[in-house]
Every structure is written in structure tokens, then in C-alpha cells.
């Protein structure tokens, strides 16, 4: 059985060269991922009969942000054509020379079916078995890819973004999001001309049982927890958790008041869910509920409201979960991971409890990487991503809410009382639109302001300025013990950014 090696001619096309039982594909991409990197892929000949690739000089643009590929639906890069190429590239990079089995899930956006069709076309052209899961939360997809022994999975979602946007999150067969290196290899292929073809067409299998498997796993994460007598408002944000979210709490005995559980393709995250937790807070007050649970569009993060309908900050939830895990003897390493966005008040309350706070860059994937690197059990982001490593391979809004309910039940204390252990420094976070993302170090006025703030704040506060990894925005955070200082400096930074970035 012969194989082929593909090599580049002077014209930039590929030629085939016999090398025995296997063949290699080597592609050099400039300006994509690792500049000039060589991606080597090895397959058995009976896996792939032909792949057409063309090198493009001076290719610009990065597709992967902090959480997959994301943008306005039906505009580059979130198009059916790129989705097709993604299907091909996933098999090339993650297939390992075997017949690939790839799961596909999506949230409730109207553009989801378009992207689903594109990804499936690419996968099927490579002979893959496609397992279509339908509308399910992102963490359900991450759980199922490992449980079903699949090669990889792709979740079609733009998380908390408005319905006009969509995106693609990829998970490996171990249930974790891809490494930077894997994303760069896939991105390199996507930025080239990539056309896959296999002698044997793939097949599609619908798997509605996936929801039942996820429900069982989420409930198992809290053992014999009985939520009888607990009143919970569940705001599903008209997103991927609209069906499974309320159901799980009901099956554990809670009295559930449902909100935003009637998706129409366009109302995902619209004045509801994790971006608008005051909506759930209002219903908490109206119904006399014990707490509110607000999920984002793909249900991988959660924001809570207490019995007064007041929003509990993400950092307060991190703190109460860390203390709960420590009390139960389950906080491995006596440390947690938070991001650079977490409030200084978290460090204070954790320090008082003898718990170390390790910081990562923004993004639940980076939080997870640091948790695994340090052998810890828990971490998260103040935006609502909570990662309980013993139960999940990604942020999971529903599972996290169950863990919080378990702490409430076992401590016999209200959410308001639990959250009160942490006092937050006054802070303000701005998300400012920008026309371009020039290097911050090239903005002379902003750099001068940063130096001035550093000298003034000392140990009394901090500031953080960074570009969004998923949107054309710059994020400005100012924290200080004195609210007046926060107000003054948030205004200074805002004005300077407007002058230098428009």
C-alpha cells in the first residue's frame, strides 16, 4: 500500500511524492499562527486520498481569540466556507490518522444551522463520523466528547455576544479546549486554500441521548443533594441552557421560576441572562426566591443574585466556593486560580484564610491551564466562569450553580451571608469600542498616564488596560480603596484612549 508526500513547487502549489505506506503533508504559512511554521501531518493512505493546499504569501489576521473563533455571522471569519474548512482542518490536526468521530453542538442563534452545515460538510468530506447533538450547553459538549470516545468536538456559539454574532469553540478528545499550538496549526490551514477529500464519505448520527447523559453527570456532581424547599429563579438567557438548566434544578427538588426559556433565534442574551442579572434579581424579589441563577448564551458561566435580588459579584462567588471547598477538605494545594481581572478584595479574604491566589491571564482556557499546571481543584473568572476540575473540563454555569447550592445547604447559611465574607475594593470596568488594536506600548500618552497611576496607587489600588480577545473593544479596569480616586482615573484613561484610539 503506497503513500504520498506533498511538497511545494516554485509556483506555490503542491506535488505528490511516493514515500511508502504513509504520506506527510507539510505546509509553510507566513503571518498565520507561528510565522513560517511547518505543520507536519501524518496519515495512513486509506484515511485521506487528496488534500489541495496552496501557500499564500503575506497572509494577515488571527482567527482564534481568547475563546475560539468569533465574529459577526456570515461575515469573515464566521462563514459557512470557513466552517467547512474548519471541519477539514480538525481532522487533519486532531484525527491522528484514524477515522475521526467529531461531535457538533450549538446554541440557539439563528445562524447556528448554517455553521453546522458547513462544519459537517468539511468533516464528511474527510470521511468522519459526525455526531450531531443539537442545542446543548458548551460544557455538555466538553463532557460528551470524552464520554463518547470522540476525536474532537466543536461548539457553535458566541457565548454572551448578541445574536448577530456566532463562533466556533473546539475541544480535544480529552474534553479540554485546544492548546495554543493546536489552534495555530488549525489556523495555519484555515488561512490557506484547503480542500479535503476522502475516498469514503462520512456519515451523520443524531444523538439526542447526549442531553440525558449530561443531566445525569451534572446531578452526580453534587451526590445526594436535595434542594427541596429552595426557591430558585433560573434565567437561561434564551440560550443553550434554556431546557436543561431549569430541568436539573427541578429534578433535584427545587421550586424553579423560569426566565428567558423561549429562544427564537434572535433573543439570546437580549436583556436577560448573565449579562443582565438584575432581571433575575427582580424576579427573586417578586417571588420571594432564595437566589437567582443567570446563565450566558452557551451556559458556561453563571451570575448569582441573592435573596434581596442583589447581584453577587463573581469574585465573591469565587471566595465562597474556595472557602466551602477548603472546609470540605477538597481544596487541593490550598490555592485557587483567578485572573488578572479579579478584585484585590479576593486576595485579602483568601490570604486571611490561608489560601493562595494564583493569577492567570483572562480566559477560562488559561485559567484551566494554570489549574492543571499547579495541580489545583478550583479556579475561575469574575465574569462568571467557575471551574471545578473534579467534575468538569471547562467552565460550567449549571454545574457551578449546583455546587453553590450544595454549599448553601451544607452550611445552612444564605447566599447573601456567604458572599458577605469578602469586601470588594471600589472599582470600575469600562468596555470602550476601538477602530483598531494598536500596540498599547505605542500609545505614548496612555503609557505616561500608566506610569503616573503606578506611582500614585502604590499598594492601595491597581489598574488594568487590555484589548478584548473576542470583540473590537478595549477594557479599562481601575480599583482603589478610595472611590474618588477610581472615578478620577477611569475618566483620565477614558479620555486618553479616546484621543489616541478614537
- Active-site positions? 159
> Which whole-number Å values give the CA distances from 305 to 259, 276, 323, in the listed order?
14, 11, 19
- Closest alpha carbon to 85 in 196, 164, 180: 196
**The pairing of beta strand 302-305 with beta strand 427-433:** unpaired
Instruction: Classify 305 as helix, strand or coil.
Output: strand
CB 46 within 8 A of CB 1: yes
Report the phi/psi class of residue 329: left, alpha or beta, with left for phi > 0 and alpha for psi in -120 to 50: left
The 10 Å Cβ neighbour count of residue 22 is: 16
Strand partners of residue 378: 388
Backbone angles phi, psi at 359, to 5 degrees: -100, 140
CB within 8 Å of 212: residues ≥ 6 apart? none
Where would I find the H helices in 170-328? 180-190, 209-220, 244-251, 277-287, 314-327
- Closest alpha carbon to 254 in 296, 289, 213, 303: 289
Q: Counting beta carbons within 10 angstroms of the beta carbon of residue 148, is it exposed (0 to 12), middle (13 to 18) or buried (19 or more)?
A: middle
**Grid coordinates given for 307:** 435573596
Instruction: Classify 354 as helix, strand or coil.
Output: coil
- Closest alpha carbon to 328 in 383, 374, 384, 388: 388
The 10 Å Cβ neighbour count of residue 409 is: 16
CA angle 424, 427, 432 (to 5 degrees): 145
Instruction: Report the C-alpha gap between 236 and 227 in whole angstroms.
Output: 19
**Grid coordinates given for 56:** 499564500
Strand partners of residue 169: 155
State the SS3 of 450-485.
Answer: HHHHHHHHCCCEEEEEEECCCCCEEEEEEEECCHHH
**The pairing of beta strand 473-480 with beta strand 427-433:** antiparallel
Instruction: Report the C-alpha gap between 87 and 386 in whole angstroms.
Output: 29
Kindly provide the b/e burial profile for residues 375-387, where b requires at least 16 CB atoms within 10 angstroms of the residue's own CB. ebbbbbbbbbbbb
Kindly provide the b/e burial profile for residues 412-433, where b requires at least 16 CB atoms within 10 angstroms of the residue's own CB. eeebbebbeebebbbbbebeee
Amino acid at each position: 500500500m503506497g503513500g504520498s508526500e506533498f511538497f511545494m513547487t516554485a509556483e506555490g502549489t503542491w506535488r505528490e511524492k511516493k514515500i511508502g505506506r504513509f504520506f506527510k503533508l507539510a505546509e509553510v504559512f507566513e503571518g498565520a499562527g507561528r510565522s513560517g511554521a511547518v505543520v507536519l501531518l501524518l496519515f495512513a493512505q486509506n484515511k485521506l486520498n487528496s488534500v489541495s493546499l496552496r501557500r499564500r504569501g503575506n497572509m494577515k489576521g488571527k482567527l482564534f481569540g481568547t475563546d475560539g473563533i468569533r465574529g459577526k455571522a456570515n461575515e469573515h471569519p464566521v462563514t459557512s466556507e470557513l466552517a467547512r474548512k474548519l471541519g477539514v482542518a480538525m481532522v487533519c490536526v486532531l484525527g491522528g490518522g484514524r477515522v475521526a468521530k467529531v461531535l457538533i453542538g450549538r446554541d440557539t442563534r439563528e445562524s447556528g444551522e448554517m455553521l453546522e452545515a458547513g462544519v459537517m460538510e468539511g468533516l464528511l468530506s474527510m470521511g468522519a463520523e459526525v455526531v450531531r447533538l443539537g442545542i446543548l450547553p458548551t460544557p455538555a459538549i466538553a463532557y460528551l466528547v470524552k464520554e463518547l470516545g470522540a476525536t474532537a468536538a466543536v461548539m457553535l456559539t458566541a457565548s454572551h455576544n448578541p445574536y448577530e454574532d456566532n463562533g466556533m469553540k473546539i475541544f480535544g478528545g480529552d474534553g479540554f479546549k485546544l492548546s495554543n499550538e493546536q489552534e495555530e496549526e488549525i489556523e495555519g490551514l484555515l488561512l490557506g486554500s484547503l480542500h479535503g477529500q476522502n475516498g469514503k464519505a462520512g456519515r451523520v448520527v443524531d444523538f439526542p441521548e447526549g442531553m440525558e447523559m449530561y443531566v445525569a453527570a451534572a446531578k452526580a456532581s453534587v451526590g445526594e443533594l436535595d434542594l427541596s424547599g429552595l426557591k430558585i429563579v433560573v434565567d437561561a438567557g434564551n440560550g443553550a441552557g434554556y431546557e436543561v438548566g431549569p430541568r436539573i434544578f427541578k429534578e433535584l427538588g427545587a421550586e424553579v421560576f423560569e426566565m428567558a426559556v423561549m429562544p427564537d433565534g434572535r433573543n439570546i442574551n437580549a436583556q436577560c441572562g448573565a449579562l443582565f442579572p438584575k432581571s433575575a434579581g427582580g424576579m427573586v424579589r417578586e417571588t420571594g426566591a432564595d437566589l437567582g441563577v443567570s446563565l450566558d448564551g452557551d451556559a458556561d458561566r453563571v451570575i448569582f443574585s441573592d435573596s434581596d435580588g442583589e447581584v453577587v459579584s463573581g469574585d465573591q462567588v469565587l471566595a465562597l466556593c474556595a472557602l466551602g471547598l477548603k472546609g470540605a477538605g477538597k481544596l487541593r494545594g490550598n490555592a485557587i486560580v483567578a485572573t488578572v481581572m479579579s478584585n484585590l478584595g479576593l486576595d485579602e479574604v483568601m490570604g486571611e484564610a490561608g489560601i493562595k491566589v494564583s493569577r492567570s491571564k483572562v480566559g477560562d482556557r488559561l485559567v484551566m491551564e494554570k489549574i492543571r499546571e499547579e495541580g489545583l481543584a478550583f479556579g475561575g473568572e469574575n465574569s462568571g466562569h467557575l471551574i471545578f476540575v473534579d467534575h468538569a473540563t471547562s467552565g460550567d454555569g449549571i454545574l457551578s450553580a449546583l455546587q453553590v447550592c450544595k454549599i448553601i445547604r451544607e452550611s445552612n447559611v444564605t447566599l447573601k451571608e456567604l458572599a458577605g465574607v469578602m469586601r470588594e475594593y471600589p472599582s470600575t470596568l469600562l468596555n470602550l469600542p476601538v477602530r483598531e488594536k494598536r500596540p498599547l506600548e505605542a500609545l505614548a500618552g496612555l503609557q505616561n498616564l500608566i506610569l503616573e497611576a503606578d506611582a500614585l496607587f502604590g499598594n492601595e489600588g491597581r489598574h488594568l488596560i487590555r484589548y478584548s480577545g473576542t470583540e473590537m473593544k478595549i477594557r479599562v479596569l481601575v480599583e482603589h480603596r478610595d472611590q474618588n480616586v477610581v472615578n478620577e482615573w477611569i475618566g483620565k484613561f477614558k479620555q486618553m484612549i479616546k484621543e489616541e484610539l478614537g
